[in-house]
């Protein structure tokens, strides 16, 4: 697939071909221990290589959480670099979960680290935080577009503290999250079959309470260990269910360290999600 084909189009096709599933690669200490691995670079590398080997050739999206690699310093980041490259080579789209958010030249440098072709961490998409103002993301948005990259903007997150900012009311009466979603919609205007700028909407929310018509992907973390289920998605997303990218982590990763176990767990998640979403897509 062409690297300059828009991310939204590539994501739409990948989910049609491989099923509606994003698997997070979250090698936190407890999971390493569950796998019988040390909380060190060797354990991190073994864990990550196993997940990539098991899933990169069959799931639509892999989402490594950068923090779990960064905590080991440069050697941990080297493991992340290889995971991103190997996952993309095997056909998975990689959303590197970094939640960057800054201004000016600093935001431009973050964007170059993940969205510039040839960069060691070059990814299909990244997560970003817009709460320094949506236009603070402009360097990332402008760099992603010509290279077929994607951006997932934090919209409504599942952590209780998020509401303090995201549901606060702007001067025009809209929740701040709605301002961000409306800005995403403008970025995606006219895109088909799916825009390349998405929103992160926690699957554990009881209700969205905002207009999710962004014409882009809605990344929905929180399914599985955090309490949400596939059956919750139609209720939360309604007629936008066709844009949802359901994300799971521990419910699949706990099936390791067996490659066969990881594959079976991912296949079961795809089946459950496909069944829940089939009638609404």
Residue 277 confidence (pLDDT): 79
Largest CA distance in the chain: 54
Give the bridge partners for 220, in sequence order: 246
Nearest residue to 128 (alpha-carbon basis) of 196, 209, 210: 196
pLDDT band at 89 (very low <50, low <70, confident <90, very high): very high
Residues in the chain, overall count: 281
Residue-wise pLDDT tens digits, 152-178: 999 999 898 999 999 999 999 999 999
Nearest residue to 272 (alpha-carbon basis) of 236, 235, 223: 223
pLDDT band at 4 (very low <50, low <70, confident <90, very high): confident
Residue-wise pLDDT tens digits, 190-242: 999 999 999 999 999 989 999 999 999 999 999 877 778 888 999 999 999 99
Residue 171 confidence (pLDDT): 92
Residue 279 confidence (pLDDT): 53
Instruction: Please state, in angstroms and rounded to a whole number, the distance separating the CA atoms of residues 66 and 205.
Output: 24
How many percent of the chain have pLDDT more than 90?
90
Instruction: Please state, in angstroms and rounded to a whole number, the distance separating the CA atoms of residues 37 and 135.
Output: 43
pLDDT band at 97 (very low <50, low <70, confident <90, very high): very high
If you average pLDDT over every residue of the chain, what do you get? Answer: 95
Rg (CA), the chain: 18
Residue 175 DSSP label: B
Tell me what the mean pLDDT of segment 173-184 comes to.
97
Structure token digits, residue 37: 């691995």
Residue-wise pLDDT tens digits, 51-82: 999 999 999 999 999 999 999 999 999 999 99
Which residues are tagged catalytic? 99
Concatenating the DSSP letter of every residue in 171-192 gives TTS-BHHHHHHHHHHHHTTT-S
Tell me what the mean pLDDT of segment 3-17 comes to.
94
Residue-wise pLDDT tens digits, 129-154: 999 999 999 999 999 999 999 999 99
Structure token digits, residue 205: 């929310």
Number of other CB atoms surrounding residue 197 within 10 Å: 29
Q: Phi/psi of residue 17, each to 5°?
A: -85, -35
Number of other CB atoms surrounding residue 180 within 10 Å: 25
Instruction: Please state, in angstroms and rounded to a whole number, the distance separating the CA atoms of residues 259 and 269.
Output: 16
Tell me what the mean pLDDT of segment 116-128 comes to.
98
Whether 101 and 131 have beta carbons less than 8 Å apart is answered as yes
Instruction: Please state, in angstroms and rounded to a whole number, the distance separating the CA atoms of residues 158 and 279.
Output: 25
- Asked if pLDDT for residue 281 goes beyond 70, the answer is no
Q: Phi/psi of residue 206, each to 5°?
A: -75, -30
């Amino acid at each position: 697939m062409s690297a300059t084909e828009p991310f939204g189009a590539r994501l739409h096709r990948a989910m049609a071909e491989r099923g509606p599933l994003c698997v997070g690669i979250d090698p936190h200490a407890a999971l390493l221990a569950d796998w019988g691995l040390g909380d060190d670079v060797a354990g991190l590398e073994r864990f990550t290589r196993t997940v990539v080997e098991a899933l990169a050739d069959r799931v639509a999206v892999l989402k490594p959480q950068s923090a779990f690699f960064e905590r080991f310093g440069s050697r941990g980041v080297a493991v992340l670099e290889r995971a991103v490259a190997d996952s993309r080579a095997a056909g998975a789209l990689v959303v590197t979960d970094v939640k960057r958010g800054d201004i000016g030249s600093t935001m431009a440098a973050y964007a170059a680290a993940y969205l510039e072709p040839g960069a060691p961490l070059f990814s299909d998409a990244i997560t970003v935080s817009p709460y320094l103002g949506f236009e603070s993301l402009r360097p990332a948005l402008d760099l992603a577009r010509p290279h077929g990259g994607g951006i997932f903007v934090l919209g409504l997150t599942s952590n209780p503290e998020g509401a303090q900012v995201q549901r606060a009311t702007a001067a025009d009466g809209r929740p701040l999250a709605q301002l961000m979603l409306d800005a995403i919609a403008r970025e995606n205007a006219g895109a088909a079959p799916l825009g390349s700028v998405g929103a992160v909407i926690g699957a554990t929310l009881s209700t969205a309470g905002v207009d999710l018509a962004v014409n882009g992907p809605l990344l929905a973390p929180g399914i599985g260990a955090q309490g949400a289920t596939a059956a919750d998605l139609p209720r939360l997303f309604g007629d936008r269910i066709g844009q949802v990218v359901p994300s799971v982590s521990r419910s699949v990763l706990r099936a390791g360290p067996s490659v066969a176990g990881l594959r079976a767990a991912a296949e079961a998640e795809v089946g459950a999600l496909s069944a829940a979403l089939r009638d609404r897509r």
